[in-house]
Structure 1
Amino acid sequence: MRITQQLTTTLREAPHDAESGNHELLVRAGFIRQLTAGIYSFLPLGARVIHNISKIIREEMDRAGGQEVIMPVLQPRELWEQRPAEGGASRAELYAGEFFSLEDRKGRELILGPTHEEVAHSLIADFVQSYRDLPQYIYQLQVKFRDQWRPRGGLLRTRELLMMDLYSFDANEAGLERSYQQMIEAYKAVFTRCGLRFLIVQADSGPIGGSTSHEFIAPVEAGEDTVILCRNCDYAANQERAEFVSSEQARETPLELEEVYTPNCKSISELAAFLAIQENRTLKSICYVASGKFVLAIIRGDLEINEIKLANILQREGLNAADLHLASPEELTEAGIIAGYTSPLGKDKQILIVADISLKQGNNYVAGANKAEYHIKHVNYPRDFRVDVWGDIALAYEGATCSQCGGKLYSIRSSELGHIFKPGTLYSYLFQTTFLDTDGTTRPIFMGSYGIGISRLMGIIVEQSHDDKGIIWPFSVAPYHVALIGLDLDKPETGQAAGQLYTDLLAAGIEVLFDDRTETAGVKFNDADLLGLPLRAVISKRSLKNGGVELKLRSQKESRIVPLSDTVRAIQEEIHKELAR
């Protein structure tokens, strides 16, 4: 492709709304353009990268036994409104905030699919009758729609995203485990071939559901997730899921309640400083609302509440927590709760009190007095307040103690490359997806669910692979392997040599982008660095005088001169060597 013929342009300045490196570089280099918040067009260069990533994914999914299908984007809402037999929220309720909904001309409610577990089950039910039909792996590459609360980070969090989703179907738990491990290996191959640095961490299953979930994450500063790791062992988990051992706290002789005046002490830090005590001697009380019910979450003052863990506990208690949110000032007023000074003391039975297990270690806590400017000292459980539900609702943090080995935890910023789940029989019971076993017994199918964000991968590759000049594409996903830069093209010798080399490279099947513009050398070199094609070939009056064509990898500083007659062969060898890494 000649640059003069390509639908693209480079920008010298970063877009004013750029929040991350991938957003800035992909827009400046002419790979993407934003239509509106979280929605992008992929220009020819960007589309080629997406195609190359998709090709790698297809090859690895096929190698793992996957069969590609195309499932509908439009889904009937009633598919999502099935409820578990034992009760609890439907997926429509769990996903409510992310749905893009619409109605057809007959008034039937539809959604734009954020994921396809329900559709996959309805499809597989038509083809799986007995154990002989299992296992099955079906996958698709399709655009998904999720109404993100705050799209950010360029391609890292969007409302319209290209995704690969694969669904495995097995006869039993052992088969599901084999499929799960098989997909872990396939994912490793995909991300390795894409030139990514990644980790596998324990994760929360979220609205997909199931007993087990892992994320493949890429360490990037612009990432939207925090991952907790141990310095001593291999423990690694998304902060939403991470566990830790809270610091020990000795129990004292219980003392009598004592109300104290604490002016302007609405925060734990202010309270601890005023009373000259450690924050872990205080009791933090946070008011939430879920499905119209007040929830008071209480935890030791030195810890923070993990709202994902809290929501999961509420779900297990039969309360739909899809809309869990901090109580608004109006909701607090309606419930007679004073912000900054509330506590579990004297709370009405209508308020569900959820306590973190850290509170079982100590006693004689300082808690709110349920009136402005006052707290109460020497608060003890169960003498002074009730707890409806105990659980781990604490947010893991850097420096905490590892629950596996006792080592110290640390955190890194990251972004999700892929997520895998074990829904097991969850959807099979919803949709009566069954098969006949060897003994003729009807049994539920065991499902695995696996997703890779393809457009997000493109953004993460840029986050991990760039310098102050621009992008550095790995050969495996680069839109073109070679940036051919022609200088002095108005001179017959160099113009003819550059044109012939371009023709020879195309004839050899080499993917090449020829900068045939009448721009200065500086503009062309800067644009080549910005675009980040992995191999640069420069042909100019000076290079010809020095013996041929100047070759340089984008990732290296030094270049070398290759005779013009050997250039095609040298480029082929370089590409083959890099792709074989």
Structure 2
Amino acid sequence: MHRQSNLLLPTERQAPADAEAISHKLMVRAGLIRQIGSGLWSWLPAGWRVHERIVQIIREELDAIGGQEMLMPVLVPAELWKRSGRYGIDELFKLRDRRDAELVLSMTHEEVVTTHVAQVVRSYRDLPLILYHFQTKERDEPRPRAGVLRTREFIMKDAYTFDRDAAGLEEGYQKHIVAYDRIFDRTGLEWYRVESDVGMMGGLGAHEYMAPAPAGENDVALAPGYAANVEVASADPQPVAELQLEGEFHTPGMTTIEAVATHLGVGTGNLLKAFPVITEARGLVTVFVRGDHRVNDIKLQNALGEAFRPAEAGELPGPGGFLGPTGQGVEVYDEAVTPGRYVAGANREDYHVVVEVPAGDRLDVRTVQEGDLVDGNPITVEPAIEVGNIFKLGTRYSEPLDATYLDVDGREQFVWMGSYGIGPARIAAAAVEQFADDNGISWPRALAPWDVHVVALGKEDELAAAEALAREIEAEGLSVLLDDRPLRPGEKFADAELLGCPLRLTVGKRALESGTAEVQVRRGREARGGVPLQGGAPAVAELWRNLP
């Protein structure tokens, strides 16, 4: 039992002035976290209890699939990141020690764990392996925001599978899907698993675990039986009417799709939008999408197989705002640009022209949007918080770091790897985002800092009865916070609702007279009658077990 009179729980009536996300506001107001610098947060005692409850859920489920917990350092030699080819990442903190040796502060641990495996794994008999740890990560985040959702320092659980071949990797990947599904079910979050881009991790494929929330920085496309990050989502576009116009049109100063479409009285989908980029291998590439669509940078880079940058004014094949197909150089059409007539820039100032787009190769390079179809079903797009991710790395790290083994025939083979991350802080913030109300946080049962909040009103007799009830409840295996502070009832209730423990029991003068403590379920602020002050703990435990 924790006494609130002795607890470092600095609740606030006002949210920080710069806070926009609900979780940022409420986690500060409830005394869970405090900021020490941009993107740098301390977890105070109540917040840390939430964090560690999440950690324990993760640990139990990874152990259940054969995971072995270890611990790797944050500070590591830069040479490992140079060998993997990731040293140039902008977000990587780089430093030198007093001997001028180059070091990095790890933002993930593929390089380190692969180095260890390369040193100790010799034979196919040493595989498979599942290794994981909980460790601080450092990231030179350019725009820290939303409290603990986007920070420069955070704790992450990263796990790694090491297998003999692609089939073994797939088996390890599926084990982690089972474990992750169970983890997020146990947290009480609303969540879904979506297809995603491999990003800086590289490899053969990836999924993300998303918790829908207004503060989410990721957009997710959803349809029955389909979920994908908008970064990689594909869908059938909404149809557009056939263009009836022909010829060239004077469009003075009309450099936007909307202006041209309005002037000509056609839909924006009847226009072509040019997106000129520069790549190292191809030089200038002009990408065309329908006027009602926009280019997806990640899908375009994946389709081109190389990085690109937007073309500058001096590199354009014509005047900006009036670009169209020329039939020269590299021109790429999105899949939604079907053969037919479109209005496009005439490649000269103040003119657009109807062009005939021929059949030919197409690339899926656009961002899907609401109303597009997957198997005939319209998609919706909603924001979500990324709370976990899983990657099929293949030999992406084992090759540069020389992690090999001898197979059954004595031949040297590269180890096949998978990488699996979860952010406990993001799970905590997502829970706040999903279940908070106007009065404060409403924790899922599995994540709350304490299971039951016992609030004593009055002086010695009420406090003694509240303490006795709290001890009985603890004997049932539940954690209890006892508010024994000499404050007015209204202040105590406000703090209790702000903190958001699943059950609140109130012991005051009326409770002593009736022999019954008042019960409130935090989710929905629902009164549930009362429980006996003496012998009521089993009923409290049963009620708690049936909460979400």
Alignment TM-score, normalising by the size of structure 1:
0.87
Go from structure 1 to structure 2 and tell me whether the alpha carbon gap of 1:370 and 1:38 turns closer, same or farther (over 3 Å shift). Answer: farther
Counterpart of 1:559 in 2: which secondary structure?
strand
Matches of 1:547 and 1:503, distance apart in 2: 17
Matches of 1:56 and 1:4, distance apart in 2: 29
Go from structure 1 to structure 2 and tell me whether the alpha carbon gap of 1:3 and 1:252 turns closer, same or farther (over 3 Å shift). Answer: closer
Matches of 2:386 and 2:463, distance apart in 1: 46
Note if contact 2:245-2:354 (Cα within 8 Å) is conserved in structure 1. no
Map residues 542-561 of structure 1 onto 2, 5 A cutoff.
542-555=510-523, 556-561=525-530
1:243 and 2:239 are equivalent in the alignment: no
Matching residue of 2:445: 475
1:341 and 2:331 are equivalent in the alignment: no
1:7 and 2:2 are equivalent in the alignment: no
1:447 and 2:427 are equivalent in the alignment: no
1:200 and 2:193 are equivalent in the alignment: yes
Query: Is the deviation greater in 559-568 or in 7-16?
Result: 559-568
Matches of 1:456 and 1:67, distance apart in 2: 23
Matches of 2:211 and 2:395, distance apart in 1: 30
Counterpart of 2:506 in 1: which secondary structure?
strand
Aligned residue type for 1:267: T
How far the C-alpha of 1:168 sits from its partner, in A, is: 0.4
Go from structure 1 to structure 2 and tell me whether the alpha carbon gap of 1:254 and 1:548 turns closer, same or farther (over 3 Å shift). Answer: closer
Note if contact 2:90-2:140 (Cα within 8 Å) is conserved in structure 1. yes
Q: C-alpha offsets along residues 468-525 of structure 1, whole Å, 9 cap, x if unaligned?
A: 2111112222111121111112xx4223323444455556664221211221111111
Matching residue of 1:430: 400
Matches of 1:370 and 1:445, distance apart in 2: 53
Matches of 1:254 and 1:428, distance apart in 2: 57
Go from structure 1 to structure 2 and tell me whether the alpha carbon gap of 1:398 and 1:565 turns closer, same or farther (over 3 Å shift). Answer: same
1:310 and 2:300 are equivalent in the alignment: yes
How far the C-alpha of 1:251 sits from its partner, in A, is: 8.8
Gaps of 5+ in 1: 84-89
Note if contact 1:9-1:29 (Cα within 8 Å) is conserved in structure 2. yes
Query: Is the deviation greater in 292-301 or in 204-213?
Result: 292-301
Go from structure 1 to structure 2 and tell me whether the alpha carbon gap of 1:406 and 1:568 turns closer, same or farther (over 3 Å shift). Answer: closer
How far the C-alpha of 1:334 sits from its partner, in A, is: 6.2
Note if contact 2:531-2:540 (Cα within 8 Å) is conserved in structure 1. no
Matches of 2:424 and 2:21, distance apart in 1: 18
Matching residue of 1:37: 38
Matches of 2:243 and 2:428, distance apart in 1: 56
Counterpart of 2:72 in 1: which secondary structure?
coil
How far the C-alpha of 1:254 sits from its partner, in A, is: 12
Map residues 200-239 of structure 1 onto 2, 5 A cutoff.
200-230=193-223, 233-239=224-230
Matches of 1:254 and 1:521, distance apart in 2: 74
Matches of 2:498 and 2:532, distance apart in 1: 27
Counterpart of 2:73 in 1: which secondary structure?
coil
Counterpart of 1:426 in 2: which secondary structure?
coil
Matches of 1:558 and 1:470, distance apart in 2: 17
Note if contact 2:243-2:342 (Cα within 8 Å) is conserved in structure 1. no
Matches of 1:160 and 1:19, distance apart in 2: 20
1:358 and 2:347 are equivalent in the alignment: no
Counterpart of 2:216 in 1: which secondary structure?
coil
Note if contact 1:210-1:424 (Cα within 8 Å) is conserved in structure 2. yes
Note if contact 1:179-1:448 (Cα within 8 Å) is conserved in structure 2. yes
Matching residue of 1:563: 532
Matches of 1:379 and 1:268, distance apart in 2: 18
Q: 1:114 aligns with which of 92, 95, 107?
A: 107
Q: 2:344 aligns with which of 349, 356, 367?
A: 367
How far the C-alpha of 1:563 sits from its partner, in A, is: 2.2
Query: Is the deviation greater in 147-156 or in 413-422?
Result: 147-156
Aligned residue type for 2:62: M
Note if contact 1:254-1:363 (Cα within 8 Å) is conserved in structure 2. no
Go from structure 1 to structure 2 and tell me whether the alpha carbon gap of 1:236 and 1:572 turns closer, same or farther (over 3 Å shift). Answer: closer
Map residues 82-161 of structure 1 onto 2, 5 A cutoff.
82=83, 90-93=85-88, 96-161=89-154
Matches of 2:242 and 2:12, distance apart in 1: 64
Go from structure 1 to structure 2 and tell me whether the alpha carbon gap of 1:74 and 1:51 turns closer, same or farther (over 3 Å shift). Answer: same
Go from structure 1 to structure 2 and tell me whether the alpha carbon gap of 1:287 and 1:496 turns closer, same or farther (over 3 Å shift). Answer: same
Map residues 145-544 of structure 1 onto 2, 5 A cutoff.
145-230=138-223, 233-247=224-238, 258-289=247-278, 294-314=284-304, 316=305, 319=306, 321=307, 324-327=308-311, 331-333=312-314, 338-345=319-326, 349=329, 353-359=331-337, 361-378=338-355, 380-381=357-358, 390-402=362-374, 405-489=375-459, 492-502=460-470, 505=473, 510-544=478-512
Query: Is the deviation greater in 558-567 or in 135-144?
Result: 558-567
Matches of 1:290 and 1:114, distance apart in 2: 28
Aligned residue type for 2:210: I
Matches of 2:216 and 2:202, distance apart in 1: 24
Q: C-alpha offsets along residues 82-139 of structure 1, whole Å, 9 cap, x if unaligned?
A: 47xxxxxx3334xx23222222223333222121112121111122111111110000
How far the C-alpha of 1:253 sits from its partner, in A, is: 12
Note if contact 2:156-2:423 (Cα within 8 Å) is conserved in structure 1. yes
Aligned residue type for 1:244: A
How far the C-alpha of 1:381 sits from its partner, in A, is: 4.9
How many residue pairs are counted as aligned between the two chains? 545
Coordinate RMSD, CA, aligned? 2.6
Matches of 2:256 and 2:316, distance apart in 1: 21
Aligned residue type for 1:307: D
How far the C-alpha of 1:20 sits from its partner, in A, is: 1.2
Go from structure 1 to structure 2 and tell me whether the alpha carbon gap of 1:276 and 1:523 turns closer, same or farther (over 3 Å shift). Answer: same
Go from structure 1 to structure 2 and tell me whether the alpha carbon gap of 1:248 and 1:559 turns closer, same or farther (over 3 Å shift). Answer: closer
Query: Is the deviation greater in 479-488 or in 259-268?
Result: 259-268
How far the C-alpha of 1:295 sits from its partner, in A, is: 4.3
Go from structure 1 to structure 2 and tell me whether the alpha carbon gap of 1:538 and 1:166 turns closer, same or farther (over 3 Å shift). Answer: same
How far the C-alpha of 1:148 sits from its partner, in A, is: 2.9
Go from structure 1 to structure 2 and tell me whether the alpha carbon gap of 1:149 and 1:289 turns closer, same or farther (over 3 Å shift). Answer: farther
Aligned residue type for 1:544: L
Go from structure 1 to structure 2 and tell me whether the alpha carbon gap of 1:155 and 1:44 turns closer, same or farther (over 3 Å shift). Answer: same
Q: C-alpha offsets along residues 296-327 of structure 1, whole Å, 9 cap, x if unaligned?
A: 3221212111111012223x2xx3x2xx5545
Map residues 13-52 of structure 1 onto 2, 5 A cutoff.
13-52=14-53
Note if contact 1:251-1:362 (Cα within 8 Å) is conserved in structure 2. no
Go from structure 1 to structure 2 and tell me whether the alpha carbon gap of 1:452 and 1:410 turns closer, same or farther (over 3 Å shift). Answer: same
Query: Is the deviation greater in 266-275 or in 281-290?
Result: 281-290
Counterpart of 1:164 in 2: which secondary structure?
strand
Aligned residue type for 2:488: T
Aligned residue type for 1:282: L
Matches of 2:45 and 2:309, distance apart in 1: 42
Alignment TM-score, normalising by the size of structure 2:
0.92
Counterpart of 2:148 in 1: which secondary structure?
helix
Aligned residue type for 1:339: G
